[in-house]
């Protein structure tokens, strides 16, 4: 299960255990992991295990050994985040070449690793959790902020775009309420005037302030939900705005 505090459940594996005399043959699951890491910038271990090895016994260590093999074979690069105290995995240039050969590279190059990658790591990992939750609910068509920026060259970019039955839903995640009313008003005005998005989901960690719901926006389009509720209640999560509420399952 995806967790809010994004703790790593990784167990150390010696490189020798992952090495093989034969070259690694990528599976469909490997490709899915590499594509996710490539589009979302990086993944932590529990995101990989809970999403791509969901239902597998942790005692079997299948995920641990496969991830170690992908690292040893040069498809994933492992870096440690001191800020979050977890290992995170990046798709390498070798991985992107493998994705490109399958037309799955999303039109963006391999991420160039920099030491300041941790600057937005909490925000990034929580957004990835949201993508993985929507994937679990059957909504797999998602465009990440990185793709919107580097491929589509969007100036105003949501944290992700989810497509449900052909309709685009902009996703804005707020790690906590730090912006003033003017900043949120500007954001709502932008989305109110953007015909390309059918809905805007503003997903907020911790609490949703009453004043935020009471701001001026198109109540047919803009909806708010708690991040914690989404992680726990999933399709039963209640979205709300100044006029109404609905449960997420209605979109399924």
Task: Tell me the per-residue pLDDT of 5-31, one tens digit each, with 9 for 90 and over.
Answer: 555 555 454 444 444 557 899 999 999
Task: Tell me the per-residue pLDDT of 91-129, one tens digit each, with 9 for 90 and over.
Answer: 999 999 999 999 999 999 999 988 888 889 999 999 999
Which of 1.25.40, 1.10.357, 2.60.40, 1.10.10 is the CATH number of 1-119?
A: 1.10.10
Task: Tell me the per-residue pLDDT of 188-202, one tens digit each, with 9 for 90 and over.
Answer: 999 999 999 999 999
Two tokens, residue 148: 């919107």
When pLDDT is cut at 50, 70 and 90, the band that residue 206 belongs to is confident
Average pLDDT over residues 60-88: 94
Q: Where along the chain do its domains lie?
A: 1-119, 158-252
Q: What pTM was computed for the model? A: 0.89
Rg, the chain, Cα only: 19
Say how far apart CA 107 and CA 151 lie, in whole Å: 6
Q: What is the pLDDT of residue 17?
A: 45
Q: Does residue 72 carry a pLDDT above 50? A: yes
């Amino acid at each position: 299960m995806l967790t809010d505090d994004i703790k790593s459940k990784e167990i150390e594996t010696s490189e020798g255990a992952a090495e093989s005399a034969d070259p690694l043959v990528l599976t469909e699951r490997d490709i899915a992991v590499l594509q996710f890491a490539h589009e979302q910038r990086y993944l932590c271990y529990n995101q990989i295990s809970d999403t791509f090895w969901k239902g597998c016994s942790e005692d079997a260590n299948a995920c641990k050994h496969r991830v170690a093999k992908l690292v040893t074979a040069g498809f994933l690069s492992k870096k440690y985040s001191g800020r979050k105290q977890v290992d995170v995995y990046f798709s390498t240039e070798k991985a992107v070449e493998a994705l490109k050969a399958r037309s799955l590279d999303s039109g963006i190059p391999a991420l160039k690793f920099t030491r300041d990658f941790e600057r937005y790591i909490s925000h990034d990992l929580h957004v990835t959790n949201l993508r993985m939750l929507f994937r679990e609910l059957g909504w797999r068509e998602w465009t990440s902020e990185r793709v919107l920026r580097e491929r589509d060259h969007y100036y105003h970019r949501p944290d992700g775009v989810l497509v449900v039955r052909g309709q685009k839903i902009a996703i804005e995640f707020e790690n906590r309420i730090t912006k003033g009313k003017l900043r949120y008003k500007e954001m709502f005005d932008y989305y109110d005037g953007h015909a390309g998005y059918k809905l805007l989901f503003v997903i907020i960690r911790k609490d949703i302030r009453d004043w935020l719901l009471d701001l001026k926006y198109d109540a047919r389009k803009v909806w708010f939900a708690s991040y914690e509720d989404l992680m726990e209640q999933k399709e039963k999560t209640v979205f709300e705005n100044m006029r109404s509420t609905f449960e997420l399952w209605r979109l399924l």
